Amino acid sequence: MKKIGIFGGSFNPIHIGHLILAQEVQHKAGLQKVLFIRTADNPLKEKDSEETKAERYEMTRMAIEDNENFAISDIEVRSTGYSYTIDTVKKLMAADPEAQYYFLCGEDIIFQLERWKDFEELFRLVIFVVTYRPGYDFEKLRVEAQRLKQMYGANIEILQAPLIEISSTTIRERVKQNISVRYLVTEKVHDYIKDKRLYLE
C-alpha cells in the first residue's frame, strides 16, 4: 500500500529541524512521499497576513525542492480563513483513497491533539508519527501516547530522530538580533530571508 506522509506546520520559517524530522520519518517509516503543507491560519495561533503566508510557502518550496521524496501541497494555500487538519486530510484522502496517510509531528503537537477539530475521527484516519523534541519530557510523551491509544484507539508511533534544538521562534529572534541563521536554515532560505528583510521587526 502507498504510504504518504503529511507534514503540516507554520514553517515561519522552515528550518533544518523540520527537514531532518521529515527525512528521518520518510526513511524509517518507508514513506513514498512526504507532503509539506504550509498551513493556513491556525486557530490556536495568531492570524498571518497574506504576504507572510506567501513567503512561508515560498521558503518551504525552496527548502525541499532538491529532495525527490518531498513535495509541497498547496491544499491550504487555496483555503481562506482558518484551516483544520481533519478537512485537509479528508481532501487528500479523496484525491488518493488507496493510500495510508501518516501525520508527522514533533512531540509538542501530541499534547494539543484533543483541542483539534474532530480529533477522534482524525485518529481513525491517520497514523501519527511523533519524534522527540529537545526541551520536552520523553517519559511524558510515552505516557500521553499510551493514554490517547487507550482512550481513543489512536495510532501513535514514536520514532527516534536526531535532536535538533531549533524552533522557528528562535530563528526569528536571531534574525531580529542580527545573529546569523546560516546553516540553521537552507542556503536558499537564508538568502531569501536576507533579500526580503524578513523578521527584522
Residues near ligand ATP (CB under 6 A) are 9-12, 17-18, 21, 105-106, 108-109, 131, 133, 164, 166-169
Cell numbers describing residue 163: 535532536
Is the distance from CB of 18 to CB of 9 less than 8 angstroms? yes
User: Smallest distance from the beta carbon of 98 to ligand ATP, in angstroms?
Assistant: 26
CB of 57 to ligand ATP, least distance (A): 12
> Residue 136 CB, nearest distance to ligand ATP (Å)?
9
Nearest-CB residue for ligand ATP: 106
User: From the CB of 195, what's the least distance to ligand ATP, in Å?
Assistant: 21
Of 23 and 131, nearer to ligand ATP (C-beta) is 131
Going from the C-alpha of 189 to that of each of 54, 81, 101, the distances in angstroms are 14, 26, 28
Residue number with CB closer to ligand ATP (46 or 98): 46
DSSP designation for 5: E
* CA distances in angstroms from 198 to 24, 79, 94, 96, 170, listed in the order given: 29, 24, 37, 36, 14
